[in-house]
Amino acid sequence: MSSRSAWRALHYSAKRRISQPTTPYRCFSCARQSLEQAKPDHERMTHFGFTNVPESEKESRVGAVFSSVASSYDNMNDLMSLGIHRLWKDHFVRSLNPGTPVANRDADAKDKGWNILDIAGGTGDIAFRMLDHATNINHDMQTSVTISDINADMLAEGRKRSIETPYYNTSRLSFVEANAEHMPHIPDASIDLYTVVFGIRNFTDKQAALNEAFRVLKPGGVFACMEFSKVDNPLFDAIYKRWNFSAIPLIGQIVAGDRDSYQYLVESIERFPSQEEFRGMIQKAGFMIPGRGYENLTGGIAAIHKGIKPIVQS
């Protein structure tokens, strides 16, 4: 009897346990379950470095990278490029020659200087150089630059730096936090020069950004982009890759205390299209390509791409 009652008690308790599971259902294999979960938010993927992430996530992830590097951005650029990035940026600005020289200005003085839009220029590196060139070389006091960046931390860094420039708190320099793929606050055909320097590789949809650039530029306006690119020489390429994948994350870890952000940086450089492919994208947006369309810097580590919005023949 006692054994029977003991069996019954066990039996009941076992039954009770089945009818009221305290832990959720745990299947032997989780693959099916995870597939079912992923299905409802099935969406386009984009690359984030070497990994693929949903498009909605890339923006925030890139945002996190640049928020974390904003403060040490300048030091890190110097260390990673051995100071060459300054030469590139100077060359970029000099070749664009912003500002109208006094001698070329019309007597009626109706032109108000160039309207420059610097996309992804949060820390103001390019914007200050543009304004310096326009002011000191061409004596053009009207040319103005709008710095647009998606990342508030980078913009804050730029604002902080602008205090030390003569353009602080003037109408020649303004800051906007915006996504370059969609800029409804900028009217059509209002910009003379659109620049994006070392920024476009972080965009989620590069073609959309190029189309938006085409929209905001005046006919005859120039799209100028400087971005990391592909090295031609195989020997130099091997050295460069070694530097990129070994040295830069290490420098990031030691100087900025952030290895992952710099790992992302080198991976995104590797994933960026080659000179010819990117030229094709610029052409696809509707731009005219001057000459070969791009200029290699330091053997192709970086390249300057240019496109001109055609004038509609009336």
Partner 1 sequence: MASLVRLPAPRRAPSSIPSICSAPTPLATRQFHTSGQLRPSPSKVTTAIKPTFKNPAYTIRPYHSPLHPRLPPHEYTNSQTAILTASLPHIPSQGFTNAALTLGARDAGFLDVSVQLLPRGEFDLVLFWLASRRGLLRGKVEEGALFTRAAAERGREVGGLSVEEKVKILVLERLRLNKDVKEVWQDALAQMSLLGNIPLALTELHALSNDILTLSGDAAVDGSWYARRLGLSAIYASAEVVMTRDPTPELVETEAFVERRFADKEALREKVEGVGSWVGFLGSTAVGVGRSWGLKI
- Which spans of this chain sit near partner 1 (rule: CB under 8 A)? 96-98, 100-101, 103-104, 114, 192-193, 218, 220-222, 224, 288, 290-292, 295, 306, 308, 310-311
Min dist. Cβ of residue 284 to partner 1 (A): 17
Min dist. Cβ of residue 117 to partner 1 (A): 12
Min dist. Cβ of residue 180 to partner 1 (A): 19
Q: Which is nearer to partner 1, 119 or 150 (CB)?
A: 119
Please indicate if the annotation marks 138 as binding a ligand: no
Give the residues across from 308 on adjacent strands.
222, 288
The 10 Å Cβ neighbour count of residue 298 is: 15
How far apart, in Å, are the Cα atoms of 13 and each of 3, 5, 21, 57?
15, 12, 12, 47
Min dist. Cβ of residue 183 to partner 1 (A): 19
Phi-psi domain of 188 (left: phi exceeds 0; alpha: psi -120 through 50; beta: other): beta
Q: Which is nearer to partner 1, 113 or 252 (CB)?
A: 113
Please indicate if the annotation marks 149 as binding a ligand: yes
Please indicate if the annotation marks 179 as binding a ligand: yes
Q: Which is nearer to partner 1, 3 or 314 (CB)?
A: 314
Encode burial over 241-267: b for 16+ CB neighbours within 10 A, e otherwise.
eebbeeebbebbeeebebeebbbbbbb
Helix H or strand E segment including 191: strand 191-197
Q: Which is nearer to partner 1, 115 or 204 (CB)?
A: 115
Q: Which is nearer to partner 1, 43 or 188 (CB)?
A: 188
34: three-class secondary structure by DSSP: helix
- Tell me if 235 sits within 8 A of 301, measured CB to CB: no
Q: Which is nearer to partner 1, 134 or 183 (CB)?
A: 134
Please indicate if the annotation marks 165 as binding a ligand: no
Min dist. Cβ of residue 88 to partner 1 (A): 17
Min dist. Cβ of residue 103 to partner 1 (A): 6
State both tokens at 42: 């099935």
Burial of 165 (0-12, 13-18, 19+ CB in 10 A): middle
- Tell me if 151 sits within 8 A of 70, measured CB to CB: yes
- Tell me if 116 sits within 8 A of 145, measured CB to CB: yes
Which residues are annotated binding-site positions for S-adenosyl-L-methionine? Answer: 123, 149, 179-180
